[in-house]
C-alpha cells in the first residue's frame, strides 16, 4: 500500500510564528486531504487538495503530485492551532479508503 | 444537518463480549468508512463502503464486521472483543471525490 510520511513529528512554536508541515507519499494519488485533530480529539477537514494550491485564512496548502509531496502552511499561529495535523491520501477511483500519515503534533505556546 | 454521528461515546467491554458501534450520516454521502486510532499510529482503515450493500476491507479488518443496508447507516460489529481492540474508533463519510467528514469518535476499553 501507499506509504505516507509526515514531518516534523513534533513542533513547538510561540504564538505568532509561521510553520510549514510536510507530507511525502510513496505512489501517485488522486485524493489528498489535510486534517486537524484538536486537543479534544475532534477531526476537522482543512483541505481537499489532490493538486495545486488552496488558501483558507491563515492556512494554505500546496500539493505537487508529480513530486509526491504536499505542504501545509500555518501563518501567525494562535494557541487554538495546537493539536495534531494529519495528511491522508488515496489512489483508487474515489472509492477507496484514505491512508493516513502518523501526524505532526503542533504546540503553540502563548 | 447533524453531520456524522456516533454512539456510544464511551464503552467498556470484557474480553469475549460482542457489541455494535453505531454510525449515521445525513449528508447523503455514498462513501462511509471506519478507522481506529491508537497512540503513535495515526488512523488505520478498518472497513469501508461505497454504497448500500457494498463493503470492503481496509488495512486492519480482523475481528470486525460491517454491513450497509441504507445510505445513512454503517454499523461496526466487534464479534468477540479482545484487549488489542482497545482504541478510539472514528466513522467518516464523503462523496467519492469530496471532503471527508468525521464523527466525534467512540472510545472503547476492553478489559
In this complex, do B100 and A100 lie within 8 Å of one another by their Cβ atoms? Answer: no
A105: closest chain B residue by CA = B40
* B95 pLDDT tier (thresholds 50, 70, 90): confident
Contacts of A66 (CB under 8 A, 6+ apart): none
In this complex, do A41 and B41 lie within 8 Å of one another by their Cβ atoms? Answer: no
| pLDDT value at residue A107 | 97
User: If residue B64 lies in a helix (H) or strand (E), which one and from where to where?
Assistant: strand B64-66
pLDDT per position as a tens digit, A90-105: 986 556 789 999 999 9
Question: Exposure pattern of A53-82 as b/e (b: 16+ CB <10 Å)?
Answer: eeeeeebbbbbebeebbbbbebeebeeebb
Rounded to whole angstroms, the maximal C-alpha distance in chain B is: 39
- Give the distance from residue A13's alpha carbon to the nearest chain B alpha carbon, in angstroms: 21
pLDDT per position as a tens digit, B3-53: 999 999 999 999 999 999 999 999 999 999 999 999 877 899 999 999 999
Contacts of A39 (CB under 8 A, 6+ apart): A82, A83
In this complex, do B50 and A99 lie within 8 Å of one another by their Cβ atoms? Answer: no
A97: DSSP letter: P
Query: Which residues of chain A neighbour B55 with C-beta distances below 8 Å?
Result: none
A93: closest chain B residue by CA = B96
Query: Which residues of chain A neighbour B93 with C-beta distances below 8 Å?
Result: none
Which residues of A sit within 8 Å Cβ distance of B?
1, 31, 33, 35, 41-45, 48, 86, 88, 93-103
Amino acid at each position: 500500500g501507499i506509504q505516507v510520511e509526515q514531518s516534523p513529528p513534533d513542533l513547538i512554536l510561540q504564538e505568532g510564528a509561521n510553520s510549514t508541515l510536510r507530507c511525502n507519499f510513496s505512489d501517485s494519488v488522486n485524493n489528498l486531504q489535510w486534517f486537524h485533530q484538536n486537543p479534544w480529539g475532534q477531526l476537522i477537514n482543512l483541505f481537499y487538495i489532490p493538486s495545486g494550491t488552496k488558501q483558507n485564512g491563515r492556512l494554505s496548502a500546496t500539493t505537487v503530485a508529480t513530486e509526491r509531496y504536499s505542504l501545509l502552511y500555518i501563518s501567525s499561529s494562535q494557541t487554538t492551532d495546537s493539536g495534531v495535523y494529519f495528511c491522508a491520501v488515496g489512489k483508487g477511483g474515489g472509492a477507496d479508503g484514505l491512508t493516513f500519515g502518523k501526524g505532526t503534533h503542533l504546540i503553540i505556546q502563548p | 444537518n447533524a453531520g456524522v454521528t456516533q454512539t456510544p461515546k464511551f464503552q467498556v467491554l470484557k474480553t469475549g463480549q460482542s457489541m455494535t458501534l453505531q454510525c449515521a450520516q445525513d449528508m447523503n454521502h455514498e462513501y462511509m468508512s471506519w478507522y481506529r486510532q491508537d497512540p503513535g499510529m495515526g488512523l488505520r482503515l478498518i472497513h469501508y463502503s461505497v454504497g448500500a450493500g457494498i463493503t470492503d476491507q481496509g488495512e486492519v479488518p480482523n475481528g470486525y464486521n460491517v454491513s450497509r443496508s441504507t445510505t445513512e447507516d454503517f454499523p461496526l460489529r466487534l464479534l468477540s472483543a479482545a484487549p488489542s481492540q482497545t482504541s478510539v474508533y472514528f466513522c467518516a463519510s464523503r462523496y467519492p471525490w469530496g471532503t471527508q467528514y468525521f464523527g466525534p469518535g467512540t472510545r472503547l476499553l476492553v478489559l
